[in-house]
Copies of this chain bind each other. A is one copy, B any other.
């Protein structure tokens, strides 16, 4: 069979691409998922159905799905099907929350929102969020209690365009993690984050809020969270008191 053509009225893939067929399929599936029509936790078509949709063999479909599973975008379950990763609170905590107690236990943090503002992006934030300077954003300040003590302060900046109609009430009254809110309310899946860590002294207001001495060393974490195709979703600055907690970076060199 010659190199690349759609068969039997199947979906036309990117066509004249110079990349392998399974990459085309992967991209097509990714677009299906990120179109916003799919709910988190929902099943995607079966492998056999995808064969017919794309007009490829099951091996090619599996290869495409393999990569999305490796990226935690999809979850496969034998006998059940393949699902858009649910990002359950528990899962979110395990994947994107790497602040743990010094003895290694994962405390579930209690988040309290200190302020929720409508604001305009400065140049630097615009660059991080891939929006225009001056675009509307939400600025949200939170404090997190871990083990009963205030241990973390953070500031979140997100584009109002990506999260239209988000209100303080809705944000505060959510019964899930913030990333789950992005997913369930706006159909935005956070699939990766990039953290930059520094050590800085506590300033006056931070010291007061975390009930620690002025100038005490804190861990500053600057995070950008991205969704499919590396589109930035959220900028976040976290300040952690590492007296009783620490940041863990388990495993390097992917895979297992």
Contacts and interface: CB of A to CB of B under 8 A. Distances in A.
B253 A192 contact: yes
Best-buried of A194, A197, A219, A246 by chain B (most CB within 10 Å): A197
A77 to B, nearest CB: 17
Interface in A200-249: 200-201, 215-219, 240, 242, 246-249
Nearest to A256: B71
B194 A217 contact: no
A252 interface: yes
A219 B197 contact: yes
Interface in A148-171: none
Nearest to A198: B242
Contacts of A79: none
A62 to B, nearest CB: 11
Contact of A194 (B191, B199, B218, B251): B251
Contacts of A242: 197-200
A72 interface: yes
A254 B254 contact: yes
A199 B199 contact: yes
B253 A197 contact: no
A192 B72 contact: no
A193 B96 CA distance: 18
Best-buried of A70, A193, A215, A247 by chain B (most CB within 10 Å): A247
Interface string A177-204: 0000000000000011111111111000
Contacts of A247: 196-198
A39 to B, nearest CB: 19
Interface in A86-102: 95-96
A20 interface: no
Contacts of A1: none
B219 A218 contact: no
B219 A201 contact: no
Nearest to A96: B252
A67 interface: yes
> Ordered nearest first, which 7 A-B pairs have the shortest CB separation?
A217-B217, A70-B255, A198-B242, A199-B217, A71-B255, A72-B253, A199-B199
